[in-house]
Chain A
Amino acid sequence: MTRTLVVVGHGMVGHRFVTAFRARDHERRWRVIVLGEERHPAYDRVGLSSYLDGRGLADLRLDDGELAGDTAVDLRLGVVAESIDRATRTVWTSAGTPVRYDALVLATGSRPFVPPVPGHDLPGCFAYRTVDDLDRIRAASGEARDGVVVGGGLLGLEAANALRLLGLRTQVVEMADWLMPLQVDEGGGHTLGRLVERLGLVVHTGSGTGAVEAGQDGRTRAVRLTDGTEVPADLVVFSAGIRARDELARAAGLPVGERGGVLVDETCRTEDPRVWAVGECAAVAGRTYGLVAPGYAMAETVVDRLLGGSATFGGAEPATKLKLLGVDVASFGDAHSTTPGALDVVHANAASGTYTKLVLSDDARTLLGGVLVGDAGAYPTLRALLGRPLPASPEEVLAPVGGGGLSADAVPDDATVCSCHNVSKGDVTAAITEHGLTDVAGVKRCTLAGTGCGSCVPMLGGLLAGCGVEPDRALCEHFRHTRAELYEIVRATGITTFSELVRTHGAGRGCDVCKPVVASILAGLAGGHVLSEDQAGLQDTNDRFLANIQRNGTYSVVPRIPGGEITPEKLITIGEVARDFGLYTKITGGQRIDLFGARVEQLPLIWRRLVDAGFESGHAYGKALRTVKSCVGTDWCRYGVGDSVAMAIRLELRYRGLRAPHKIKAGVSGCARECAEARSKDFGVIATEKGWNLYVGGNGGFTPRHAELLAADLDDRALIALVDRFLMFYIRTADRLQRTAAWIGAMEGGLEHLRAVVVDDSLGIAEELEAAMERHVGEYADEWAGVLADPEKVARFVSFVNSPDVPDPTIRFTTERGQIRPGATDGPVPLPLPVIRPEAVRA
């Protein structure tokens, strides 16, 4: 007979419980009814702030439709459980609906604790737990400028990130002397504080919140701290801890823990054998857990018990790894060194902002716990070694910071790799060999390892490699090779066309992934015009029309302005061209001018004018060198110590037209004030009293990164030699669409290895790399001049090959602020229907 299991709560743990239960109840002995109070199905509450960074709720959702499509599950959202009648085994909803159960699992989670300070309930004060909370905060953030987060723990920093994403100046108030006092020790907390302040947040530690002050409009105006400081606050978010939601159990006469939480035994069962509790609402032997991993373990325990197993929840060592505000933070085991005789081994680097502490037993052999801030790469390995002898000296384990010190091999077979699903290293390696797994996705599917918090995923890759599995790095279905391997094949064989390469080393006719890659490689090795007969069909549309495609199918035009220096005459030419062709103009971030709205057939006419005035292609469309931005340097600036403009122009002219795995941006600053923002570029040059410092691997975009120092105090000649080698090494070895930052990040040995190759010539290829760059410089020719000189190439810039005089009728513009912009389109443009003529039908 089918029994009914009722789950109250559809948060992370409730969801995990239901999916794990359904995965194991093959005979469908149970029908599952889930009552969820929120309107939304379960989502990742741990990473809630990413709801605001453009990814939205869909990406946070935990359920990919599996519950909705499961006929054994009845998911009722927006339904509040009001009371439990244990005598009749009924849950009553707030709508007065009875829900009968044979077994009941409470997964009601917790509520934010709001300290009862004066003003805590003023308009402008918010809690931080649900998507609805975030919607309310977002709605209130419109006119707000200053935000205060009360609580500098894990949730507080998540909330601070949310406010930062909403554009608020954000201050964090933490009563303890450092951030995240529960998880990390003092040293780690201070390192974290410095990293967070680098992001522009202000942190107040060691002071409590005295009161929230109201302004004349009755809304929050400021937060007064207990030390008297007043912090401006148009918006206040409380995330000062959580309290278990045990009220349903309390009202039903079930015992609760001394400090709250539904009291359960080690099987997660209450004193009523039909009622269970899991996650943050449960107090296992009196102890509550505020992290998701123990909640998942409780869920698995109850699943097993309900299906006749004998699992127990043996408590959980607090262990967590998170990325808060982009900063890695991890702690595990006895992070606060409370074990008698415990020894600390600490490695801290204030310059790079990393802190690592290992807590060892009194004989310095057994790992008892640890804290990692700034770089938690070593976490999965260390976590697996918890309670075991260290395989190497603590110094070797700690250095180099970045986790390179220990490989997955160092972990014993019976050590737990995935603590969310209790999977050992032996389980993973056995699955790899037995099922012939070849990638991390397969390991996840087979063992469930890595599907919880995900912190062990890097280690799964290491275990695959340890089993001799090479990860699949094929470019696409047409080539089994990586981009770097294809580069070497083309270099060694001297192949000059895609057709020959795909015939001899690939399969099929290629695609939009491999063709542009091969086009880029051929541009560097075989030379010739990028729109030659052989190469034109390999190019992405931007390279095929030597301009940047825009949303309505028109293109933008960017002439090169080396170093951002331009004469008044040339500026006037650009203005005249834009005026005559009716183009929208905008100054770019790379110190040049972008002309938008050009139709395909206008491009050669526009470039005729520009080339005649001495302009050449700016390669804004290519995976190629874009610009070398500069400050005004010693010529004009009273602070400058180096001629940054001259150097920027020299570098831009040297590397223009250089095709690469991705775009390359550069900058040159004339002094350490860094007005050219060179350290946000792929390579950045900063003048010093003794010459130039060269920085590499900077990036803006989605994951901003400062470039790091490769070599210091170089003269002009040495600087150019190093940039030559750096760029050529990048072009030869990087993956498709891999910027220099990611390339260095993925490189074994990282920046140190790069320095060895580029500066110390450890591979003995420096001369060859420089010679390759010399060839590029010698063979450079302006692509647009090349098009204009060839009528066949010009002929491809046409609206319709059979009606070249008719412009594309789908392109429309409106005007805004005195310039054109694409006309509004709502949905696809209606296409004309085929006209059926009677005579055609009769024929």
Chain B
Amino acid sequence: MRWREVCRWEALRPELGAPVLVDGHLIALFRTEDGELYALGNVDPVSSASVMSRGIVGDRAGEPVVASPMHKQVFSLRSGRCLDVTHPELALPTYAVRRQGDVVEIGLP
């Protein structure tokens, strides 16, 4: 795993996604209210637009989720899977992410 610094911890506001670019990967970075970090692919599989970081973050039955800002499909922040019964086949790639002191890092294999 190769870790790359992407932003300051303080710059990442709770429940407000941020887009990052790491080695050509378009990644949406999220910090939830409880301080957990998540990193998913930023490209919405339905519209092909790079917009997932702009979705609303919340939960579905306790599972942290983000809703696509384009057509509202809901994806798990943990697994990247689409939780809508109509689109069970959709999924976003997930990335390794961690906090190292004041900074947030994305890990690529």
Contact = CB atoms under 8 A, between A and B. Distances in A.
Say whether A and B bind each other. Answer: yes
Given A511-B58, A512-B56, A831-B93, A810 B49 contact: yes
> Considering residues B18, B47, B61, B65, which has the most beta carbons from chain A within 10 angstroms of its beta carbon?
B47
A537 B109 contact: no
B43 A508 contact: no
Given A509-B33, A553-B51, A840-B109, A802 B69 contact: no
A514 B67 CA distance: 12
Given A801-B18, A832-B25, A810 B50 contact: yes
A541 B55 contact: yes
A800 interface: yes
B47 A551 contact: yes
Contact of A837 (B2, B5, B47): B2
A544 interface: yes
Contacts of B18: 801
A312 interface: no
Say whether chain A's binding surface is mostly helix, strand, loop, or mixed: loop
A503 to B, nearest CB: 11
Nearest to A514: B58
A549 B26 contact: no
A540 B56 contact: yes
> Considering residues B21, B60, B108, which has the most beta carbons from chain A within 10 angstroms of its beta carbon?
B21
A825 B55 CA distance: 21
B50 A808 contact: yes
Given A511-B59, A537-B16, A803 B43 contact: no
Contacts, number: 129
Interface in A503-528: 508-512, 514-516
B67 A801 contact: no
B100 interface: no
Interface string B73-95: 01000000000000000000100
A508 B50 CA distance: 28
A829 interface: yes
A810 B43 contact: yes
A799 B58 contact: no
Q: What bracket does the count of chain A residues touching chain B fall in?
A: 35 or more
B102 interface: no
Contacts of A811: 50
Given A544-B54, A800-B19, A802-B7, A509 B64 contact: yes
A302 B50 CA distance: 57
Interface string A244-266: 00000000000000000000000
Interface residues of B, number: 49
A516 B13 contact: no
A511 B109 contact: no
A572 interface: no
Given A829-B48, A840-B1, A511 B22 contact: no
Contacts of A499: 33
A831 B56 contact: no
Contacts of A540: 56, 69
A479 B47 CA distance: 30
A802 B48 contact: no
A798 B19 contact: yes
A601 to B, nearest CB: 10
Given A499-B33, A509-B33, A538-B56, A802 B50 contact: no
B21 A515 contact: no
A549 B69 contact: yes
A701 B43 CA distance: 30
Interface in A302-321: none
> Considering residues B22, B58, B67, which has the most beta carbons from chain A within 10 angstroms of its beta carbon?
B58
Given A478-B58, A509-B64, A840-B1, 11 more contacts: A477-B60, A511-B56, A511-B74, A537-B56, A541-B69, A549-B69, A553-B50, A553-B70, A802-B7, A827-B48, A832-B23
Interface of A: 477-478, 499, 508-512, 514-516, 533, 536-541, 544-545, 549, 551-553, 796, 798-803, 806, 808-811, 825, 827-829, 831-832, 834-837, 840-841
10 contacts: A478-B58, A511-B74, A512-B67, A512-B72, A515-B56, A533-B13, A539-B56, A541-B55, A549-B51, A549-B54
Interface of B: 1-2, 5-7, 11, 13-16, 18-26, 29, 32-33, 41, 43, 45, 47-51, 54-62, 64-65, 67, 69-70, 72, 74, 93, 108-109
